[in-house]
Structure 1
Amino acid sequence: MTVPFIKMHGLGNDFVVLDARTMPIPAMRPIVARRLADRRTGIGFDQLVLLEPSDSHAFRMRIFNSDGSEVGACGNAARAVALLHGEPAIIETGGGPISLEALEGGARVDMGQPRFDWDTVPLAYPMDTFAMPVGWVEDSCTLENPMAINVGNPHVVFLVDDADAVPLGAIGPQIEHDSLFPERINVNVISLAGPDHLRLRVWERGAGLTQACGTGACASAIAAIRRGLVRSPVRVTLPGGDLQIAWSPGSTIMMSGPAAESYRGSFIWDDYTTGAEG
């Protein structure tokens, strides 16, 4: 079976999009996603995006990380899909419905309302999510007292003096897999760059260091706004570029930023499923 794909990216966070809305595609399994994600023997991506029919919304978007795990939301992928779809739509995701609209060179996405309760992040046990009384140490770097937020998937946000100086590749996996987080966690480190400007780096659960993370930008802007550090809308600068996040307490999260199609191609499904288990 030959399966067409579309390679896209949002600020360098790259995706393979499979469109199963009109063409049946076999059930996605973690090992198949991992094989397709391999940048040497597969196509290569941070996330795989599977578009499917929906009974309640325009269509359904499912997201698989490069390690094969399925997640509820991905802001950069949502912008890419908005650009691909071309028309305003409300779509179904594992993190809840979101609305999206293509713009010139990108998209605006309403990511819904953030969740702050410990059991909706979720955490393993009750804790103040505004300033969690926990910390992690890697060599001479200490990350402590983060804010925990669910914006379709779970995040912790640490305020640091210099986001670029944090050894996130070393300490990120330690936090991601901590038993405090039963569904693992995305790890964000932010530093202030102005009254409405943040610098951000993200360790994404199941994908590692990426050039950009849309939900991470949302969580980080919300954390900084709630602590009175910045005002909305917030410019969030990631290694791959800038996103604009607008939010106020009680409202939904509006994310705007670029997305682009890289190329189109196809692969033989059986090449990535032969001998696959799980």
Structure 2
Amino acid sequence: MRICSTNLGIGGEQLLTIERASDEGLRAGAYAAMRIFNIDDKEVGACGNATRCMAYLLLEEAGKDELVMELAGDVVQCRIRAAPMEVSVTLGPISMDWRKIPLSREVDTTHLPIESGLLTDGVALYIGNPHALFFVDQLDKVDMGRYAPLVQSDPLFPEGANVGAAEIVDEKTLRLVVWERPGTLTKACGTGACVAAYAALNRGLVTSEKIAVHLPGGKLVIELLDGDKVRMTGPVAFCCHGFVEGGK
């Protein structure tokens, strides 16, 4: 995608668009709708950090502390927290149904039949996009560039998957790295943090329903809510602004 190319401008991992909410979204009180495109030109149904960034822009434009945004036919609750540039969004529900993720065949999604190096005994989850999450003893010893692509391209995932490796620090803290679709090691993955916290509680590896997830790009706080939904809170930062001109 040329707009995201670092050779032409600032570059980016995704392209986001702001659009008028659908009639259904408007009835639900949506201020606007967002669409998300990866650098391989494919539209995706969710991105946690992109949602927080867009939420901040819309909250600033509307002059509100709270609003509703439409994303992939669903509505997302967005809110400015105590800190001026800290935003929370409610995402989900999270599903572990193999058909929803989707997987190519029925398997136990709580213990995936896939191994790649130190990535073993994984969990498959869906939160608007597919994830394969693996718990590891020492995160720094996991070569994600070597092992994650083998999971991502496994025939079990017909649409690919975001591959995460998580280390349990204590009963309310995780460390996480994520190899995202279409094939990049990202410094931050909001939906990855959400499913990591959900899977950790599901396995009994943590006891708190409010979990700090530390990624290379910073910390997110994930609160597990009723109905398999999660509230993600984290900071946003302004980088730059400009215009995109048409051309060949």
TM-score, normalised by the number of residues in structure 1: 0.80
Match for 1:111 among 84, 91, 96? Answer: 91
Q: Secondary structure, in 3 states, of the residue corresponding to 1:224?
A: helix
Give the Cα–Cα distance (whole angstroms) in 2 for the partners of residues 249 and 128 of structure 1.
23
Using the alignment, how far apart are the partners of 1:241 and 1:261 within structure 2?
Answer: 15
Q: 2:71: which partner in 1?
A: 93
- Which residue pairs with 2:237 in the alignment? 260
How big is the alpha-carbon RMSD for the aligned residues of Structure 1 and Structure 2? 1.5
CA contact (8 A) 2:225 2:231 kept: no
- Which residue number corresponds to residue 227 of structure 1? 203
CA contact (8 A) 1:38 1:44 kept: yes
Query: Does 1:143 find its partner at 2:119?
Result: yes
Aligned counterparts of 1:248 and 1:111: Cα–Cα separation in 2: 10
1:132 Cα deviation from its structure 2 partner: 1.4
Aligned to 2:138: 162
SS in 1 for 2:46: coil
Q: 1:110–1:75: structure 2 CA closer, same or farther, 3 Å change rule? A: same
Q: 8 Å contact 2:114–2:151 — kept in the other structure? A: no
- Report the CA distance between 1:42 and its aligned residue: 3.5
AA of the residue aligned to 1:236: V
Gap runs ≥5 in structure 2: none
- SS of residue paired to 1:263: coil
Q: Give the stretch that moved more between structures: 250-259 or 72-81.
A: 250-259
Q: Comparing 98-107 with 244-253, which one deviates more in the overlay?
A: 244-253
Q: Which residue of 1 aligns with 2:39?
A: 66
Does the C-alpha gap of structure 1 residues 58 and 244 become closer, same or farther in structure 2, counting only changes over 3 Å? Answer: same
Give the drift of 1:249. 6.0
Give 1:260 shift.
1.5
Distance 1:175 1:161 in 2: 19
| Aligned-residue offset at 1:40 | 1.8
The amino acid that maps onto 1:40 is N
CA distance in 2, matches of 1:206, 1:232: 31
- Check whether the contact 1:67–1:207 (CA below 8 A) recurs between aligned residues: no
Q: Is 1:123 matched with 2:103?
A: yes
Q: Within 5 A, what are the aligned runs for 1:186-201?
A: 186-201=162-177
Q: 2:21 aligns with which of 47, 54, 57?
A: 54
Tell me, in whole angstroms, the C-alpha distance in 1 between the residues paired with 2:209 and 2:46.
22
Find the partner of 2:12 among 45, 55, 58.
45
User: Does the 8 Å CA contact 1:46/1:207 hold for their aligned counterparts?
Assistant: no
**For structure 1, which runs of at least 5 residues remain unmatched after alignment?**
1-33
Which stretch has the larger CA shift, 205-214 or 195-204?
Answer: 205-214
1:205-216 alignment runs, 5 A limit? 205-206=181-182, 208-216=184-192
Q: Aligned residue pairs: how many?
A: 234
Measured after TM superposition, the shift of residue 192 of structure 1 is: 1.0
Q: Structure 1 residues 68 and 83, CA, compared in 2 at 3 Å: closer, same or farther?
A: same
Segment of structure 1 superposing worse, 109-118 or 165-174: 165-174
User: Is the contact between residue 149 and residue 183 of structure 2 (CA under 8 Å) also seen in structure 1?
Assistant: no
Structure having greater relative contact order (Cα 8 Å, sep ≥ 6): 1
Q: CA deviation at 1:207?
A: 5.1
- State the alpha-carbon separation in 2 of the partners of residues 249 and 158 from structure 1: 24
TM-score by length of 2: 0.89
Task: Name the one with the larger strand percent.
Answer: 1
- Equivalent residue letter for 1:45: G
User: Aligned equivalents of 2:42 and 2:10: distance in 1?
Assistant: 17
Question: 1:176: Cα distance to partner?
Answer: 1.4
